[in-house]
A = this chain, B = another copy of it.
Amino acid sequence: AIDGERLWQSLMDLAQIGATPKGGNCRLALSKEDGQGRDLVVGWMREAGLEITVDQVGNIFGVRPGRDPARKPVMTGSHIDTQPTGGRFDGCFGVMAGLEVMRTLNDQGIQTEAPLALTIWTNEEGTRFVPVMMGSGVHCGVFPLETALAATDVDGKAVRDELAAIGYAGTAPIGTVQAGSYLEAHIEQGPILEAEETTIGVVTGSLGLRWYDVTVTGMEAHAGPTPMALRRDALYAATHLMQAVVDIANDPAFAPLGRGTVGVVNAYPASRNVIPGRVQFTVDLRHEDAALLEQMEQRFRAAAAALAAGETTGTPVQVDIAFVQEFPPTPFDRTLVERVRSEAIARGMSQRDIVTGAGHDAVYMARCVPTAMIFVPCKDGISHNEVEDADPKHLEAGANVLLGAMLAQAA
């Protein structure tokens, strides 16, 4: 069994880097803080005897040799980048749980048949740079290395340069370290396990996701003299489409696993006495069912077309929808999922099936190798928030299931 206190302590030590006033973390991907976090954890990985490889997109792999060097490692991992006002557990729990597995095996002098590996993936959050789940996406061939390296943040800084700036522009070709199977422990980031007082979520797969950037163009004009009837207010128009995103997801036809969110909005020229001439906002649509996700998109596009035609507000505007990223609903590996369940049951833990609403590196890994995830509850189901919290007992339980599943896989 793993050491729950050591696991908790490592999480708290990592959370010192980029700590925010309300008890959360801001370690945006490839920021100075992300660099400091990586240095700290890589130090721990080396102390645990792992052999470190950094690939060209900055993914960090730590390998623990097995008796059979011909076998591909049983890999675990997650990310340590965070949202701007993120929590201490999202991603970090998966990495620290993997480290704790390695430390525990070291303490007990156990060598596995297959090698084990712990991975820190680059830019999972997708806040500062898209594509989201960047490191695992490149690793699995979902998009090219060049797409990732050329991605820029709002200030125009490129992944390529920001990797170099924090010292993680690795030289190992993509795929240097390859997994035989992949397991990822994570907090649920939703309310189900807590509400049902269940310790382990056996993750059967993930919702599909589609991201868009929307631009609504009207006509900039003076907020005072311009009569209401003559306005082409891009923001007034845009609010209707922003509402449609949420209203569509709320439609019983898409319940309970449809989601619609507008996270970012900006109006230009951003002056209080100018009618906005242009508004940009982001759209995040998700569903468990590919056909229903497609229907959600069609409904959203129909709402955009009606708005553009002037049917919604009486005033035509220009609406441009740029596709940003998508992944389909992704089922995990049946056998590995059942292994997670049996490890939980063997330890007397309550467990239930669950679908992840968040994307995870596991979602891309599932395209290459047998993959599963282990969820534990988080407080009030809240994540992507500084107040994100988790019970040390649940984290310990999740790490123990990870230990059991990795040992079984590596046997």
Main secondary structure of the interface of A (DSSP, over half): loop
Please determine whether A225 and B188 come into contact, CB atoms closer than 8 angstroms. yes
Segment with Cβ contacts to B, from A11-19, A39-47, A250-258: A250-258
Judged by a CB distance under 8 angstroms, whether A289 is at the interface is: no
Residues from 238 to 297 in A contacting B, C-beta threshold 8 Å: 239-240, 242-243, 246, 249-250, 255-256, 258-277, 282, 284, 286
Which chain B positions have C-beta within 8 A of A65?
none
**Within the complex, what minimum Cβ distance (angstroms) separates A385 from chain B?**
4
Minimal Cβ-Cβ distance residue in B for A270: B264
Please determine whether A242 and B246 come into contact, CB atoms closer than 8 angstroms. no
How many copies, total?
A: 2
A contacts with B, residue count (CB < 8 A): 72
Please determine whether A271 and B239 come into contact, CB atoms closer than 8 angstroms. no
With A83-B269, A385-B277 in contact, is A207–B224 under 8 Å at CB? Answer: yes
Which chain B positions have C-beta within 8 A of A268?
85
CA of A266 to CA of B384 in the docked complex: distance in angstroms?
18
CA of A272 to CA of B264 in the docked complex: distance in angstroms?
6
Please determine whether A235 and B242 come into contact, CB atoms closer than 8 angstroms. yes
Judged by a CB distance under 8 angstroms, whether A381 is at the interface is: yes
Judged by a CB distance under 8 angstroms, whether A91 is at the interface is: no
Minimal Cβ-Cβ distance residue in B for A278: B85
Minimal Cβ-Cβ distance residue in B for A260: B228
**Within the complex, what minimum Cβ distance (angstroms) separates A275 from chain B?**
6
Contact of A224 among B224, B267, B357 (CB under 8 A): B357
